[in-house]
Amino acid sequence: MALINLSYRTNFLHTYFKTTAVIPDTNKSSYQTLWLLHGYTGDDSAWIRHTNIEKLARKYEIAVIMPEARNAFYTDSDFIPYYSYFVDELIPKIRALLPVSAAVSDNYIAGSSMGGYGALKIGLKNPDIFSKVAALSPITDIVHFRNNPETPMATNTFDTIFDYPDKIAKNQLVNIVSNKNYGQKIMTICGNEDYMYQDNIDFKNFMTQKIGPNYTFHEVTGNHSWDTWTANIETIFKWL
């Protein structure tokens, strides 16, 4: 099992960003790949610190790419055009450096909390890159997240990223999902004590209507924490 720590200068962001990758040691020339996103205040080491990602990558023979996103919300802002960086620079860079497949059927994206939002947004907007999308305790309504008293993100930080109403509307997940059947498989998981539980139930109802049988929801026991995500991350690997 190879644990690779990458640090590189990005032309999009004009600074150095990090990515941690786990590559199974079965010597394949091209691996199925899970792009695994961290949540608010996390970094590229978050999943390694809190879960058994190396063991799961070995068990399921899936390469796992864990990019640093800081607190950019996987969104283009005036300060950090993170979404464009991820799609247009990071993915080609990783594919040039590591033995990961470029086939749509072999590429999946997942994350937790802010990373769950990022996975859903990036995945839904790029069905030509990702065939499956999964999210643990995702932020499914960014306005409700901003205004929720349990939200850890300061409102002025949120407003720096989503700085005008049209931008908020364009980045709401329900507005990104269309009536078109992308053919993607999508799954969300949420704990029954999560402070965004009702938002996730509302999103489940919306997705069930829009996507139909290609969408799966799991309600689990737990809250908005690594305890819940650690207990349920293998559900995503099995599903992939």
Give the per-residue pLDDT at 67.
Answer: 98
Q: pLDDT tens, 37-59?
A: 999 999 999 999 999 999 999 99
Dihedral angle, C-alpha 121, 135, 234, 227, nearest 10 °: 130
In order of 9, 114, 134, the CA distances from 40 in angstroms are 22, 6, 17
Q: Indicate the domain borders of the chain.
A: 2-239
1 confidence band (pLDDT: 50, 70, 90):
confident
| Residue 147 amino acid letter | N
Question: For residue 178, what pLDDT is reported?
Answer: 73
The pLDDT of residue 91 is 98
Q: What pLDDT shows up at residue 179?
A: 55
Amino acid 182: pLDDT: 66
Share of the chain above pLDDT 90, in %: 92
Residue 73 has pLDDT above 70, yes or no: yes
What number is the average pLDDT over the span 152-162? Answer: 94
Provide mean pLDDT across the span 148-168: 94
Percentage with pLDDT > 70 across the chain? 98
| Cα separation values, 29 from 14, 26, 55, 99, Å | 31, 9, 20, 6
Per-residue model confidence (pLDDT) at position 135? 98
Residue 47 is predicted with a pLDDT of 98
For residue 3, the cross-strand partners are 22
H-only helix segments in 61-196: 82-85, 91-97, 114-125, 142-147, 155-161, 165-171, 173-176
Give 80 or 190, the one with higher predicted confidence: 190
Task: Write down how long the chain is.
Answer: 240
pLDDT of res. 153? 94
Per-residue confidence band for 79, with pLDDT thresholds at 50, 70 and 90? confident
Tell me which CATH code domain 2-239 carries: 3.40.50.1820
DSSP state of 31: B
Averaged pLDDT of the chain: 95
Q: Give 178-198 pLDDT, tens digit per residue.
A: 756 568 999 999 999 999 999
